[in-house]
């Protein structure tokens, strides 16, 4: 049956409103969805390689980059996904996500400089219930776990395998939005919607 993940949502009840433009340095559709859930922010999503930065005439933006670590990494293929899910079955593992907020200054000819304002890491503990081999093979056959760290997506069918979650579900998805939202407010990049 799985744990009721809705009660573990870390999202602040208050939405935030952006004061400065943010560059989300990630190509992840999950991180894009999570950033959109924060509120009314002006941001551009760019992959985190320096080559994709557009030319700017001395413009300054705020950049936010993030990466998650699941000790097992992403599966190489279906067989590897089965092995990973067998290992997670009936056990607890940790998922860590780190993010950086920095001041990004663009210069002509696609050059830029980034000055970090904050580095933060968040940890969540995820406990899986015992999984049958049939559940594992059916899930792997769906193709869903093949592009995900740990071979599961907690926000999708993989959430049915979770018995308990200690920490933020958005952290497990790849971006701890409650913490990020508070940090954006703390650095004056955004405000709580009620303050406007």
Question: What is the model's pLDDT at position 46?
Answer: 79
Domain count within the chain: 1
Phi-psi region of 58 (alpha: psi -120 to 50; beta: other; left: phi over 0): left
Check: CB of residue 28 under 8 Å from CB of residue 68.
no
Percent over 90 (pLDDT), the chain: 46
Q: What is the tens place of the pLDDT at every residue in 92-149? A: 999 999 999 988 776 666 566 778 888 999 999 999 999 999 999 999 999 999 988 8
Q: What is the mean pLDDT of residues 77-98?
A: 95
Q: What is the tens place of the pLDDT at every residue in 12-31? A: 456 888 888 888 888 888 88
Write out the residue range of the structural domain in which residue 107 sits. 5-195
Question: What is the model's pLDDT at position 195?
Answer: 53
Residues with catalytic annotation? 67
Would the pTM of this model clear 0.85, i.e. be above it? no
**Which two tokens mark 114?**
């980034």
Question: Could you count the other beta carbons within 10 Å of the beta carbon of residue 137?
Answer: 14
């Amino acid at each position: 049956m799985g744990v009721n993940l809705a009660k573990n949502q870390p999202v602040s009840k208050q939405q935030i409103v952006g004061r400065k433009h943010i560059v989300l340095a990630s190509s992840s559709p999950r991180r894009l969805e999570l950033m959109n859930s924060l509120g009314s922010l002006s941001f551009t999503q760019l992959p985190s390689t320096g080559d994709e930065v557009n030319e700017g005439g001395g413009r300054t933006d705020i950049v936010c980059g993030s990466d998650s670590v699941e000790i097992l990494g992403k599966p190489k293929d279906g067989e590897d996904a089965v092995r990973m899910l067998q290992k997670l079955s009936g056990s607890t593992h940790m998922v860590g996500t780190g993010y950086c907020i920095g001041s990004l200054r663009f210069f002509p000819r696609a050059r830029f400089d980034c000055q970090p304002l904050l580095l933060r890491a968040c940890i969540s503990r995820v406990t899986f219930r015992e999984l049958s081999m049939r559940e594992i093979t059916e899930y792997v056959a769906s193709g869903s776990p093949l592009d995900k760290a740990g071979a599961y997506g907690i926000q999708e069918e993989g959430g049915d395998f979770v018995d308990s979650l200690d920490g933020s579900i958005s952290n497990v998805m790849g971006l701890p939005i409650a913490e990020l939202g508070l940090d954006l407010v703390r650095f004056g990049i955004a405000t709580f919607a009620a303050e406007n």
